[in-house]
Each structure stands twice: as structure tokens, then as C-alpha cells.
């Protein structure tokens, strides 16, 4: 079947969901010799970067399903997968969902004691771990047996694989986890229907430019990679999956593999912005797609200057210099970006604007009681979407605490303008209520500093209010006459190559912060990226930096 007709058939297929895309694509007549997936490591005798056809991919998945079935894995069994390579993660996901089991994909950078505790909390039926991670788990009580290494499962007999599990829309299909900024990450559960809701919507629309040959620079264990694998299979697109998302690795892959679309998180775009991109062959790129945290303006501007894009003119569709950057805001819990905004070299709407919501979702700005706020007022981002997660695995308390009057509270502070565009100001836990109707935002402050300082490639703003917990209710109690604790702000700068670390940038930064926040500025410090504590997905752990400040001030 031709790809265009296949996409429509898939969008209308009520049996299709996140747990059976590979099988349903083949059942609808897709060419087995057409594109499957390409990995950056060897797979079952195929060398690294060997493109697996759709039929070969199905065979490799069936082999793993047979191997797992022989070892007792059955439907509804949660199976933890802890490994470093994209191949181990994606092929294990596809094999486990074929059995109706529940893959729990774990980031390979988790600390062993955190990983062990996470597995215990899963109450897993088994664990797949590569050699390095199996060794790291040695001596820990997991409450579950080690089944073997994910790659070993490729030795199974594809002909012995049981029939594909028939998924119900409510069936659990994958557990991924949050970044773990404060300890053991939360286990995010998605269903067959929830994790396919956004993909079904996109399949019903014309296929976007830059989605025919995709470089996946998203972390392999993340919900976003599961989404992208299913989208690529449904679009009959080529996809090359990277196991490591550092800037040099991504640039090298773009030059050699020549994708038309690159998908990643904001931390990867920040890394790319440190390079002189004019020295690399990036002409193939039409699209950069960002999800997770929204991206900073200077990083986006550097990327859209390279590559090229299709534009419609009176003479027809022509190719114009400069690529497209689609920004948004998403999370594992949201199941897909909730917003989208398109940037090119000609656009200038930044200021942490994340655009408008996708048509498949409903969003609002809420006060502490769950009532909707008008444009211009800052409040909690509430989401009601078919793509939302089903809850936190084995943690009903946290699940229900994240809900208010039918909305899922993402933990983000936002506002809208009169035209329905949304603006992301900060994670609530990173913002500070300074009293007198003032609230300070770290992410918005970082945006302003980067826009004002061309010799700064990235920055981290840490705002601490002693004796208080940031990010709690937005409501202020005007009857509280007690003196408010002082607010202190530190700005950590990552400088561009050749920038003078001894230069005093304080006044430029004060001007960017504005008078209220500038009055709290304690210090401006050049740092290296390696100096900052980060999560397993590369986000700066601002909570750790705040704790460091409070420890220093108490000593």
C-alpha cells in the first residue's frame, strides 16, 4: 500500500495503538522490504548503522518475544529494562508489548542504588540488563530475577514466538520515568490508547516536511522515543536512533546520515549552539523538532540559520535557505507536546512563547482552586488530553495529588495572551514568591540573559528564598505581617569559545533581569557545563543548587 493511503488507514484503525504499531502496519499491507529502523550499534549480526527493513525488524522482535516467553514472561508482567543502547531499549519495548507485558524503560545513567530502589517499587516480574548494568545491580535486593541481557534475546527463534497480544485501549503498554530531580524518579504509566492518541491525530493530517528521514536524538528510554518510533513506522519513514545525544555525536550523525529532520530535547540544542555550525554540513536538515522543556531563543536562532526548507511561492514550492524549528512543551506525563510554535529565520515571537495547543488536547491556566484565569494572569498549567498518562505506577497518592477538578497539573507556571498563545515562565518548584505580589522565574530570567549576552551560550539562574519552599501555592496571604526572608539570586554562565571569563557582565545581567530581581543578585559566576549537577536526561538540577546554597548559608 502507498504510504499516503496507509497513513489514513492507520488513523482509522480502532485496534491500533502504541503496543502494536509494527504488527498493524504490516497487516495493512506495508512493504516488508520498506524502512524499519536503523541503530547505531550492532543488532543480531547486522553491523551498526545497518538499516533494518520492516520485515527484518519484525523478525528481530519476534525472536526476542520467543526468548522472553521461554523465560516465563507473560501478559501484564512488568519487566524492567536497564541498558545503554537505543537498540536494546526499542527492541525490548517492541518484544515485550508483543507479549502483552509492560516494559519499564530505565535511563542507563541512573545511579545503581536509585535504579535498584526504582525496580523494587515497580514490583517487577523480571529485569533485562546489559552486562555493565547487571554488574552495577549486583548485591542489591531487586525483588525480581535478572532474565539476562537484552541483546541475548536476539538468539530466540522467531517462529516460536506466540501470537501477538490483542491489546485493549486501556491495556498498560509502557512505564517510563521522570528525570528524578529530587531522588527516585516517578514511574509514568501509559496505555495502548493514551500513548497513541497524538500519533493518530498526526496520521490524519498531511505529513510534515522533515519527517521522511529522521535522526532521533531523544533519550532512548524516554516516552518521546517510543512516540517517535511509532510515528516513524506509521509514516513509513526512515529513522536512525542514537544511543548518546551529545552535541558532537549529533553533528557527526547529521553529516554522515543526512536526515531531513532531527528530533531532540532542549539540552541537545543548547549543546549544538556551542559549536560554529557554519563549519558543518547540515544542508540536509529541514526540521528541528523539540519536545520536553521549551527552548531558548538564541539556541533556536542558531539552528534555523542552517539547512533549508520548502516554501510556497507563486511559482510553486521552492527551497529556501534556513530550516524550521518546531518548539513546544511536553513531558512523559503529557504523552506528547501539548503546544507547538514554528520558528524560521523570519520569525521573532520568542519570550518563551510555546504557541497554541494541539487540537487533540485541552489546556488552561488555573488558580490554586482549579478555576481558569484570564489572559495575562500567571497560573498553573492544567491539561485534559487523551494523550495523558494513566497514573504513576504503584503510587496512587502522587497520581491523585497531580489532579485538580479534572485537570492534570503539570507543575509549570504559564500565562496566555489575548490571541490564545501560551507562554512558559518556569517550573513552579524553581520559581520564588518574593512577596508584595512579586514572583521571580528562573527560566524566564535565563531567556532574558541569553538574549542580552551574545558571548554566553547557556546559563542557569538559581533563586533562593531562605526558610521557604518555592513553587507552592500562588496565593499570597496579605494578613501575614511577619518579615519575609531575603531572596538571593546566583547566575551561572557558560561562556562561548573565546569569551573572556574575567569580564564583568554584572551590569548587563542586572539590566536583563529587571530592577526587582536585579536587587537580589548576589553573584555572577562563569562555570563549565561539567560543573553543574544534572539529571539523567541532562536537565540542570536546580534543587541541588538551591540546597547547596542553603547549606553554605547555614554553615
CA–CA separation, 509 vs 490, rounded Å? Answer: 11
Alpha helical stretches, state H, 204-315: 223-235, 247-257, 266-272, 297-304
The answer to whether the CB of 143 falls within 8 A of the CB of 120 is: yes
Q: Which helix (H) or strand (E) holds 307?
A: none
Instruction: Return the pLDDT at 275.
Output: 94
Tens of pLDDT along 35-87? Answer: 999 999 999 999 999 999 999 999 999 999 999 999 999 999 999 999 999 99
CA–CA separation, 18 vs 25, rounded Å? Answer: 12
Mention every residue, 6+ apart, whose C-beta is less than 8 A from residue 18. Answer: 97, 173, 174, 190, 191, 192, 193, 194, 195, 196, 199, 226, 230
Domains in the chain with CATH codes: 3-44+53-213 (3.40.50.980), 245-425 (3.40.50.12780), 433-474+482-554 (3.30.300.30)
DSSP structural state of residue 182? T
Report the sign of the C-alpha dihedral through residues 88, 89, 94, 97, in that order. Answer: positive
Instruction: Return the pLDDT at 536.
Output: 86
Residue for cell digits 487533540? Answer: 360
Instruction: Count Cα neighbours of 20 within 13 Å in the Cβ-side half-sphere.
Output: 23
Alpha helical stretches, state H, 39-111: 54-70, 86-99
Helix, strand, or coil (residue 324): strand
* Total H helices, total E strands in the chain: 16, 28
| All cell numbers assigned to 308 | 533549508
CA–CA separation, 303 vs 270, rounded Å? Answer: 10
Q: Which helix (H) or strand (E) holds 318?
A: strand 316-321
Instruction: Return the pLDDT at 399.
Output: 97
Instruction: Return the pLDDT at 467.
Output: 67
Burial class of 176 by CB neighbour count within 10 A (0 to 12, 13 to 18, 19+):
buried
Instruction: Return the pLDDT at 341.
Output: 97
The answer to whether the CB of 228 falls within 8 A of the CB of 218 is: yes
Instruction: Identify which of 143, 4, 9, 158 has the alpha carbon closest to the alpha carbon of residue 70.
Output: 158
Residues of the chain with pLDDT under 50: 469-473, 476-482
The answer to whether the CB of 247 falls within 8 A of the CB of 275 is: yes
Mention every residue, 6+ apart, whose C-beta is less than 8 A from residue 425. Answer: 352, 378, 412, 413, 414, 415, 431, 441, 443, 444
- Indicate the pTM of the whole model: 0.93
Question: What is the per-residue DSSP string for 56-72?
Answer: HHHHHHHHHHHHHHHTT
Instruction: Return the pLDDT at 436.
Output: 85
Instruction: Identify which of 447, 380, 367 has the alpha carbon closest to the alpha carbon of residue 413.
Output: 380
| All cell numbers assigned to 511 | 539590566
Question: What is the per-residue DSSP string for 402-460?
Answer: TEETTEEEEEEEEEE-TTS-EEEEEEGGG-EEEETTEEE-HHHHHHHHHHH-TTEEEEE
Tens of pLDDT along 26-36? Answer: 999 999 999 99
Instruction: Return the pLDDT at 483.
Output: 52
Residue for cell digits 522490504? Answer: 33
Report the sign of the C-alpha dihedral through residues 434, 186, 229, 25, in that order. Answer: negative
The answer to whether the CB of 99 falls within 8 A of the CB of 66 is: no
Instruction: Return the pLDDT at 476.
Output: 44
What is the β-pairing status of strands 35-39 and 51-53?
A: antiparallel
Amino acid at each position: 500500500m502507498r504510504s499516503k493511503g496507509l497513513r489514513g488507514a492507520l488513523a482509522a484503525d480502532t485496534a491500533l495503538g502504541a503496543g502494536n504499531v509494527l504488527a498493524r502496519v504490516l497487516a495493512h499491507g506495508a512493504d516488508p522490504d520498506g524502512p524499519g529502523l536503523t541503530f547505531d550499534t550492532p543488532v543480531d549480526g547486522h553491523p551498526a548503522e545497518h538499516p533494518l527493513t520492516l520485515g527484518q525488524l519484525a523478525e528481530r522482535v519476534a525472536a526476542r518475544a520467543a526468548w522472553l516467553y521461554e523465560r516465563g514472561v507473560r501478559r501484564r508482567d512488568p519487566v524492567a529494562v536497564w541498558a545503554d543502547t537505543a537498540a536494546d531499549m526499542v527492541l525490548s519495548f517492541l518484544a515485550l508489548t508483543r507479549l502483552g507485558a509492560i516494559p519499564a524503560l530505565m535511563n542507563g545513567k541512573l545511579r545503581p542504588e536509585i535504579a535498584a530502589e526504582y525496580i523494587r517499587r515497580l514490583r517487577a516480574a523480571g529485569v533485562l540488563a546489559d552486562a555493565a548494568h547487571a554488574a552495577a545491580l549486583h548485591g542489591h535486593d531487586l525483588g525480581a530475577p535478572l532474565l539476562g541481557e537484552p541483546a541475548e534475546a536476539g538468539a530466540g527463534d522467531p517462529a516460536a514466538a506466540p501470537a501477538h497480544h490483542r491489546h485493549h485501549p486501556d491495556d498498560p503498554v509502557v512505564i517510563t520515568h521522570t528525570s528524578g530531580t529530587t531522588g527516585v524518579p516517578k514511574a509514568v504509566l501509559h496505555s495502548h490508547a493514551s500513548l497513541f492518541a497524538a500519533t493518530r491525530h498526526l496520521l490524519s493530517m498531511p505529513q510534515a516536511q522533515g519527517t521522511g528521514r529522521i535522526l532521533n536524538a531523544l533519550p532512548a528510554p524516554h516516552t518521546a522515543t517510543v512516540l517517535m518510533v511509532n510515528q516513524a513506522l506509521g509514516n513509513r519513514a526512515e529513522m536512525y536512533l542514537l544511543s548518546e545525544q551529545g552535541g558532537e555525536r549529533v553533528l557527526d550523525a547529521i553529516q554522515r546520515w543526512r536526515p531531513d529532520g532531527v528530533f531532540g530535547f532542549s539540552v541537545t540544542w543548547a549543546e549544538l549552539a556551542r559549536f560554529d555550525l557554519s563549519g558543518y554540513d547540515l544542508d540536509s536538515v529541514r526540521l528541528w523538532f523539540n519536545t520536553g522543556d521549551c527552548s531558548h531563543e538564541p539556541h533556536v536562532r542558531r539552528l534555523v540559520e542552517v539547512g533549508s526548507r520548502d516554501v510556497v511561492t507563486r511559482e510553486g514550492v521552492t527551497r529556501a535557505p534556513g530550516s524550521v524549528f518546531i518548539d513546544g512543551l511536553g513531558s512523559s506525563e503529557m504523552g506528547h507536546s501539548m503546544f507547538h510554535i514554528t520558528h524560521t529565520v523570519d520569525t521573532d515571537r520568542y519570550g518563551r512563547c510555546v504557541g497554541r495547543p494541539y487540537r487533540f488536547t485541552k489546556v488552561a491556566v488555573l488558580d490554586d482552586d482549579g478555576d481558569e484565569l484570564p489572559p495575562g494572569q500567571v497560573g498553573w498549567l492544567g491539561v485534559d488530553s487523551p494523550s495523558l498518562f494513566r497514573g504513576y505506577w504503584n503510587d496512587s497518592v502522587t497520581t491523585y495529588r497531580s489532579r485538580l477538578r479534572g485537570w492534570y497539573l503539570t507543575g509549570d507556571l504559564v500565562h496566555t495572551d489575548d490571541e490564545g498563545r501560551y507562554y512558559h515562565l518556569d517550573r513552579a518548584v524553581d520559581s520564588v514568591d518574593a512577596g508584595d505580589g512579586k514572583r521571580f522565574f528562573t527560566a524566564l530570567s535565563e531567556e532574558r540573559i541569553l538574549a542580552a549576552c551574545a558571548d554566553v551560550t547557556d546559563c542557569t539562574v538559581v533563586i533562593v528564598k531562605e526558610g521557604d519552599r518555592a513553587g507552592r501555592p500562588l496565593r499570597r496571604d496579605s494578613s501575614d505581617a511577619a518579615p519575609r526572608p531575603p531572596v538571593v539570586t546566583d547566575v551561572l554562565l557558560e561562556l562561548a569559545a573565546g569569551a573572556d571569563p574575567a569580564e564583568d557582565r554584572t551590569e548587563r545581567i542586572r539590566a536583563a533581569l529587571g530592577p526587582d530581581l536585579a536587587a537580589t543578585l548576589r553573584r555572577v559566576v562563569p562555570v563549565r557545563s561539567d560543573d553543574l549537577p544534572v539529571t539523567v536526561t541532562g536537565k540542570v538540577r536546580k534543587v541541588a543548587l538551591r540546597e547547596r546554597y542553603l547549606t553554605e548559608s547555614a554553615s
